[in-house]
Amino acid sequence: RQPGGAVAVTFAMAAGPPPPLDPPVLPAFSDEGFGDKFLRKTRENPLVPLGCLCTVGVLTYGLISFKKGNTRRSQLMMRARILAQGFTFAALLGGMVVTALKSKQ
C-alpha cells in the first residue's frame, strides 16, 4: 500500500486476466461396434482367441469324461486345461508387450 491508502498496481495486475486456455485435443474414436472391435483385436493378436478356444475345448472334453466316469482322462484334461490357460495368458502378455513396443516407435 502506498501512503494515503492507495493500492499499488503491479504490471501483472494491469495486464488483465490471462487468456483462456485452448481445450485439450482429444483423440477421435470412431463408432466401433462389438463385432468390429472383436475382429480388429483378433487380427492384432490371433493367439489369444485360439488359446481361449483350446481352453474351452479341453474343459468341455474333461467334463464329458468326468460325467462318463473316466476319471483318468478327466484328470488329464484338467491338467491340459491349465496348460491351455497358461498359453492364453502368455499370448495375452506377449501381445501387450508387442503393442507397447510399437507405440514407442
Q: Is residue 13 part of a domain?
A: no
Q: Is residue 83 part of a domain?
A: yes
Q: Is residue 3 part of a domain?
A: no
Q: Taking the CA of residue 97 as centre, how many other CA atoms within 13 Å lie in the half-sphere pointing to its CB?
A: 6
Question: Exposed, middle or buried, 77 (CB in 10 Å: 0-12/13-18/19+)?
Answer: buried
Total domains in the fold of the chain: 1
Its domain, for residue 95, covers 76-104
Q: Is the pLDDT of residue 9 over 60?
A: no
- The answer to whether the pTM exceeds 0.75 is no
Q: Give pLDDT tens digits for 13-50.
A: 556 666 777 777 776 667 888 888 889 888 888 999 99
| 49 contact partners, CB below 8 Å, separation of at least 6 | 42
Q: Give pLDDT tens digits for 71-95.
A: 999 999 999 999 999 999 999 999 9
